Amino acid sequence: MGEKRFSLDELSQIVGGILTKTKDVTIEKVAPPLLADETTLALAMNEDEIENLAQTKAAAALVPLGVSLENISTIEVERPRLAFMKLLNVFYDAPDTPRDIHPSAVIDPSAKIGKNVSIGANVFIGRNAEIGDNTALMPNVYIGKGAKIGADCLFHPGVNIGDRVVVGSRCILHHAVSLGADGFSFVTEAPNNIEQARAEGAIKEVNTEVKVFKIPSLGSVVIGDDVEIGANTCIDRGTVEDTTVGAQTKIDNLVMIGHNCRIGKACTIVSQVGIAGSCVIGDRVVIAGQAGLKDHIEIGDDSIILAKAGVTKSFPRKSVVMGAPAVLRKDFIKRLKYLDEAEVMVQKYKKYQHLLEDYEKFLNEDAKI
């Protein structure tokens, strides 16, 4: 920000707002009201920030529809967060991507490189890999053999794409994303502790000489179009089938998605979520931070899993779940209510406990007669 300048009329047209102008002003940046100066469009998208406009140095503000202010120009919008997105795209400075192909890049002769592809320093592209038109690979990206990367993608430094992984067009992968590592899949000669606990509800016999065998991962990972994946997120390849992520899905930093999972379209998966293998997640599902999902469960379309939920069973479409173990939100709230009521009952019991004890003594003495 700072190198770009816009009139209020231009910004109002960009966000599709209603402009009430007190004076002409050139806008060079956007900021909250208390951090704004005379060249800033103050972002007052909620009641607290609207109140802060009384102390702002800004001459103009973005406000929700129906907010009328004196002595400051306003752009009223129906959906402030949508307008916020459009403004930030206007002022956004894209990262410096490589120009052409850096001489230190290693590209197998059999790889197919599209038009206007940018390849940074120390990038490795394996045999028979394909890179789509206008894609930018920043320094230290690894592309395995047979991988297929779509057009108009941006891979930040340190991204690792395993063999045969498919990434759609217009995808953004942030620093150190890993797609296509082997799945966490093993087997023992005799039933192990987990198998015993599942079958019998207890661990009866322990094999101290247990030998653990790795199950190879023959599948791959397939990512749809317009997917964004945050830094240090890992998505493992499938055992036989592919692990898949649907178009338009947005995944935060530090997310783990296990082998054979099928993630639907337009999902939102927040930081530190862990999804165990072979889960099926429907379309438009939201999974909030630090939620954990047990293997082999299904979450229906348009469901919401709240933060830190421990999901141990499947839920149908349009479910809102929370807690550990996770239950429907309405049931969780009901249980909290029962706990409050139980506390009141305990207090009443303590208050009258001596009467109950005296009554029990009376009954015992009466029985002896």
Torsional sign, CA 189, 195, 200, 201 = positive
Q: How confident is the model at residue 31 (pLDDT cuts 50, 70, 90)?
A: very high
Q: How confident is the model at residue 272 (pLDDT cuts 50, 70, 90)?
A: very high
Q: How confident is the model at residue 355 (pLDDT cuts 50, 70, 90)?
A: confident
What is the arithmetic mean of pLDDT over 256-270? 98
Residue 293 has pLDDT above 70, yes or no: yes
Residue 261 to residue 243: CA distance in whole angstroms: 5
The pLDDT assigned to 368 comes to 67
Q: Is the peptide bond before 191 cis (omega within 30 degrees of 0)?
A: no
216's tokens: 């190879």
- Rounded to two decimals, the pTM is 0.86
User: Which residues sit opposite 221 in a β-bridge?
Assistant: 243
What is the arithmetic mean of pLDDT over 246-252? 98
Residue 369 has pLDDT above 70, yes or no: no
What is the arithmetic mean of pLDDT over 336-344? 83
Q: How confident is the model at residue 52 (pLDDT cuts 50, 70, 90)?
A: very high
What is the arithmetic mean of pLDDT over 320-324? 96
The pLDDT assigned to 358 comes to 80
What is the arithmetic mean of pLDDT over 35-64? 95
**CB-based burial, 296-326: b 16+ in 10 Å, e otherwise:** ebbbbbbbbbbeebbbeeebeeebebbbeeb
Q: How confident is the model at residue 12 (pLDDT cuts 50, 70, 90)?
A: very high
Residue pair 196/188 in contact (Cβ under 8 Å)? The answer is no
58's tokens: 């800004």
Residue 252 to residue 272: CA distance in whole angstroms: 8
Helix (H, G, I), strand (E, B) or coil at 49: helix
Q: SS3 breakdown of the chain: % helix, strand, coil, rounded to 5?
A: 20, 25, 50
Per-residue pLDDT tens over the stretch 167-188: 999 999 999 999 999 999 999 8
Query: Which carries the bigger pLDDT value, residue 357 or residue 267?
Result: 267
Residue 75 has pLDDT above 60, yes or no: yes
Q: What amino acid positions are annotated as catalytic residues?
A: 259
Residue 207 has pLDDT above 90, yes or no: no
Residue pair 222/245 in contact (Cβ under 8 Å)? The answer is yes
Q: Phi, psi (5° rounding) for residue 234?
A: -120, 130
Q: How confident is the model at residue 201 (pLDDT cuts 50, 70, 90)?
A: confident
310 residue type, one letter: G
Q: How far is CA 189 from CA 192, 205, 207, 214, 351, in A?
A: 8, 14, 10, 12, 59
307's tokens: 């933060």
